[in-house]
Amino acid sequence: MKQRTTDTPRPLRSAGFSIIEVLVALLVLAIGLLGLAALQAQGLRFNHDAYVRTQATHIASDIIDRMRVNPENLADYTAADPDLLCDPTFEDLQGGTTIEMDLSCWYDAVEENLPGGSAIITANATANFYDVTVRWLDRTPRDFGGTVRVPGTAAECDAIAARFWDAGSGACLVEHTWTVWP
């Protein structure tokens, strides 16, 4: 039997983590944190989109309720001048606000509460109903090096229902229409 000599060093056992293991763990942690930050940003964007849609629905409901209260004069809602100044305290002889004031204040609410907001009320004489259409920018414009633009392309925008590409402004607009039956 051969004896071992004590001069030969024995291999040492690992007593901790190697630098490679630590770096790999840090890389995995960094990727996870970046994913979490992206998820948070996406959630904020969706929250803003939902907020704007809610605002549009409230604004449209406001004018629709006003139209339903005044069914005899529905046609006047399509012919009013949107450039009148909004004065909610103005009252006509019957004690209610006039159609022009209703629309003026409504147009102001659309412009103030919706990014790039616009609205129109149209009549369909053959079917005897009215459409209330509200439009706004899909996302709030962002500033990129002095150039304000809305992210997205025409193809991306047109692929989603209720959105359309406005070539004049180079932006994706959201459009919703509510129908009012007398």
Does pTM top 0.85 for this prediction? no
- Determine the pLDDT at residue 105: 85
Q: What is the pLDDT of residues 106-118, one digit of tens each?
A: 899 999 999 888 8
Question: Above pLDDT 90, what percent of the chain?
Answer: 23
* pLDDT for 126: 75
Measured distance CA(132)–CA(155) in Å, rounded? 26
Q: Is the pLDDT of residue 59 over 90?
A: yes
Q: Supply φ then ψ for residue 120, to 5 degrees.
A: -150, 150
Comparing 8-12, 53-57, 117-121, the range with the smallest average pLDDT is: 8-12
Higher-confidence residue of 143 and 116: namely 116
How far is Cα 61 from Cα 65, in angstroms, rounded to an integer?
6
SS3 of 11-35: the string is: CCCCCCCCHHHHHHHHHHHHHHHHH
Q: Which of 115, 90, 109 is nearest to 101 (CA)?
A: 90
- Any idea which of 31-35, 151-155, 158-162 has the lowest mean pLDDT? 151-155
Q: Where are the domains positioned within the chain?
A: 19-180
- Entry field: residues in the chain: 182
Which of the pair, 81 or 18, is modelled with greater confidence?
Answer: 18
Q: What sign has the CA pseudo-torsion 102, 114, 174, 81?
A: positive
pLDDT value of position 32: 97
Q: How far is CA 167 from CA 39, 145, 154, in A?
A: 31, 22, 8
d(CA 50, CA 42): 12
